[in-house]
Structure 1
Amino acid sequence: MDFALHVQGRADGGTAIAVRGDLDYATTARFLECIDRTLQQSPATLYIDLRLTTFLDSGGIAAHVTAHKGAARAGIRLIVEHPMSAIHRVLHLTGLTNLLGLPPL
């Protein structure tokens, strides 16, 4: 599966970024550029939809932390949603579920 990002507004004034494919060292720069562009539009909430994300390495984990920090600086809430169970487990093991707005396992 090729890596792709899809940005879409939501009725609640938020913006969702759907991540498709592997979020890893090779793709994190594109992910963070998309995050930065989206934050400049000042959405009420930034949703990161991981339902089509197939892999997350340490670079992808770091990118989520960077995205959260950027959103916090801008006063925007960041919520990660719909991760596959393996990715949810990785985010749980790294202690990031609460930070990223995910429910516990």
Structure 2
Amino acid sequence: MDMSLHVQGRIGGGVVIVARGDLDYGATDRFRQCVERSLRPPPGTLHLDLRLVTFIDSSGIGALVAAHRQAEQAGSRLVLENPSAVLLRTLRTAGLISLFGLPPQ
């Protein structure tokens, strides 16, 4: 399944990127560009709504880590919202739960 990305503002501030589909090698360039655009100007908080992500591979994990780094460099905070079970399992396996401030279990 291809990835679709929808950017919207959030009441009270911040920007939300809603991702749907597979965050894999074929989608990472679009995902990274979307994050980069969403951080100009820095929104304070960048929310990634990932409840509809059905698959993630190592390049997708790399894109999430890069997004975290970009947000920090821009003076923003990155929040992963509603990570799917598939995504949580992959982040736990990769040892990245604490980087994104997610609960260990």
TM range (shorter): over 0.9
CA distance in 2, matches of 1:45, 1:90: 24
Cα distance per residue 1:73-105 (max 9 Å; x no partner): 111000111111121011112121121132222
Alpha-carbon distance between aligned partners in 1 of 2:46 and 2:12, rounded to the nearest angstrom: 11
The answer to whether structure 1 residue 19 and structure 2 residue 19 are counterparts is yes
Tell whether the 8 Å contact from 1:79 to 1:102 is kept in structure 2 after alignment.
Answer: no
Unaligned runs of 5+ in 2: none
What amino acid sits opposite 2:83 in the alignment?
Answer: P
Letter in 1 for 2:49: D
Unmatched segments (≥5 aa) in structure 1? none
* Residue number in structure 2 paired with 1:70: 70
Moved segments of 4+, more than 2 Å? none
Give distance in 2, aligned partners of 1:104 and 1:59.
23
Pairwise CA distance, 1:3: 1.5
Question: How high is the TM-score relative to the length of structure 2?
Answer: 0.94
User: Does the 8 A contact of 2:2 with 2:27 survive in 1?
Assistant: no
Of all paired residues, the percent bearing the same amino acid is 53
Residue type at the aligned position of 2:94: T
**Amino acid of the residue matched to residue 76 of structure 1?**
S
Alignment-derived partner of residue 93 in structure 1: 93
Aligned residues: 105
The one-letter code of the counterpart of 1:36 is E
RMSD after superposition: 1.1
49-58 or 84-93, which moves further after superposition?
84-93
The residue that corresponds to 1:38 in the other structure is: 38
Letter in 2 for 1:50: L
